[in-house]
Amino acid sequence: MRKKFLTLFIALLLAVNNFIYIKAEGYGDFVNPVKKEMERVDKGDYAFLMEHKENEMTGVYKDKSLVVLEVDGLLTSAIGRSYNNIQLSPFMTLLVSGAVYFNNYFLGSASKNPDDITLSTLYSIMPNQKYPGFKQIYNKDIKGLQNYFKNAGYTTIAQRNLEYGEEYVNYLTLGFDKVNINEKGGNTAVLKSLQKKIEEPGKKFIYAETLPFENPMTAFKGGALEEERTLFVQKIRELDNSLKDFISNFKNSSKAKDTILLIVGKNNVYNDLANKEKTVETVLTKEKKLAEVNCPLIFVNGLQTKKYLNTIGSVDILPTLLNMFGLYENVYPMFGMDVFSKEKKDMDMATVQYDMNNRIAIYKSIAIDIKNADGGLKIDAYNRNGLGYVDSSAYELVTRKSFRDSELSYGLVFLNKLKELAENKKILKLDNDKTIMHAGGELCGMTYTNMKEALDKNYSAGKRYFEMDFMLTSDGHPVNIHSWEGFVTKFYGAKYIEGETTYTKAEYDSMKSRHGYTQMDMEKTVEWFRNHKDAYLITDVKTENVKVLEKISKLAPDLKDRIIPQIYKFDEYEPVKKMGFEKIILTLYLSKYTADQLADFATSHNLYAVTMSLSKFEKGLGNRLIEIGVPIFVHTINRQNLANQILEMGARRVYTDTL
């Protein structure tokens, strides 16, 4: 009895402590605006990505030049710290005491592609390791810092490292007026070259970086521990000295009063050598995992000295600078926030992505470490100040916002909707009678979700025709997922092992969407359509089509006039017709039928429509069918001008994620 009471007392004490801790952290200030933002996202209202309220920092740097200097290897934990009575960064420690300094700035990515951070900084988009670096924005309509400043009459200059391959070409195509390649003479030579550019006449925006091989993290080669610690400290001091010389010269230059210098820490050197981990823990901080991505952000001149404790990330730099330089007009969607805004101070968080499946979300002093595991996400939350682990479920909203922010950024960039949103404040739509919402339609920038919220959102937008994917679990239950491979990880954080049996129904039901959405199965989908009496379900069954349609037929005999099965082969028509379905679509993505074969089949069978890909439609595969009056549907189209062309050529509907 006594033991039981003690256990209950400890549990109660922990719960109360956690509640007090959350309350002290101002979590309520975070919850309300985030929930409102998520509600807007779920409705497809993305205008908040361009909204802005003026604050005390609006226009403070108007018409001044700007130099953004990314310093590779400059870490927050090296500032104000000593090792063996040696100050690691004496100059930077002095500098931040007289500057506007953010010590909780986190890099958006810890991948080995240096341009992931650059893209986040220039464009305020989340890094995407599936399309790393410049691949994410290839052929996309997008605006970055250089474009905004160029439009305001600035000369735009990039000072880059040759080691990174094709950046010279990329930076010219990104809209910079000039691209200078760093010399290999060390950071001193690089910074002298930068100073010369600053001295040139006219208003300038310069985006520059130091050399990666002078990053202190390159000290680790796998040698003797104490030798590498000594070298590590030496390289930190060398970096500090090179910045001392440059910033001192800058402050004494004729351009200093008209030029704002923003120092941004960066880290492009990641290795797993044992000595590195031990050294970082000993020399810098025990919080070694975040030490490599926690960098300083420093405005060197022009503002009253202040240290900010806000948690901010790479994506927040663009909106912040647009506000400070008075350029917050005609903006494209941004996935960060002005760090001086009340809204950002309430949403006090940042996300660091390590790869597609691992990330850390940081809210104030709490770090939420998120990894994919066999049955879903593994989430640990701990206090960054060394106070131990806390209940991760208390910060579920932080986790969900982290994933939603990433997916919304990936999706709107991939779908090339940023310019459209900037010009119209919304994604343009086609009439309901011309569209079929693919996998329920786009949700939070995501496609292929098959989630209830996708149905809800697009139904509310006036859509009535929905295609939904069905897959069988290993024990024979139809559930709504496009495929097990890839999507079970993307939506639920669960692992997919190629060649192994899929998940059981119970395992699928136990999964939790990492975005906070509701997964669907046959029963839930049928119930949703029962409750939406003017909506039509178009099935896309990946395996055992006839078997799954038979299950649906038995479950929903009352919906056969509003369930439209897709068949993939001619011989599926008769068994599906016998089930009592009134409308049947023949879809061609698994077949190679000729135009003559299709016309003959359509003449003798009452098809609701024939669905084909854009490439097949453009090659004229549907011409004969159009001539004999068979409706043609085309998949998957997300550009309105292309959709209109297809419809003008005789197609009746398009499958779409967004239109």
Residues 449-485 pLDDT 10s: 999 999 999 999 999 999 999 999 999 999 999 988 8
Residue 212: partners with Cβ closer than 8 Å, 6 or more residues away: 72, 73, 114, 161, 163, 218, 268, 269
Could you tell me the CA-to-CA distances from 653 to 315, 475, 517 in Å, in that order?
Answer: 38, 36, 28
Residue at token pair 């807007």: 40
pLDDT above 80: residue 49: yes
For tokens 């660091």, what's the residue?
352
Over range 112-134, report the average pLDDT: 86
Q: Where is pLDDT greater, at 375 or 364?
A: 364
pLDDT at 122: 95
CA distance 135 to 160: 18
Most confident stretch, 123-137, 157-171, 204-218, 428-442: 428-442
**Structural domains of the chain, with CATH:** 25-414 (3.40.720.10), 428-656 (3.20.20.190)
- In angstroms, rounded to a whole number, what is the distance separating the alpha carbons of residues 231 and 44? 53
Mean pLDDT over 158-166 rounds to: 65
| Token output for 264 | 């941004």
Q: How far is CA 292 from the centre of its chain?
A: 21
pLDDT in tens, 545-582: 999 999 999 999 999 999 999 999 999 999 999 999 99
Mean pLDDT of all residues in the chain? Answer: 88
Distance CA 650, CA 644 (A): 10
Phi then psi for 345, rounded to 5 degrees? -65, -35
Residue type, 152: A
Residue 207 pLDDT more than 50? yes
Contact 612, 634 (CB under 8 A): yes
- pLDDT reported for residue 237: 93
Other C-beta atoms closer than 10 Å to the C-beta of 161 total: 22
3-state secondary structure of 520: coil
Distance (Å, rounded) from C-alpha 550 to C-alpha 110? 49
219-224 average pLDDT score: 71
- Alpha-carbon dihedral sign for residues 544, 546, 551, 555: positive
Confidence of residue 15 (pLDDT cuts 50, 70, 90): very low
User: What's the mean pLDDT in 287-293?
Assistant: 77
* Dihedral class, residue 466 (left if φ above 0, else alpha if ψ from -120 to 50, else beta): beta
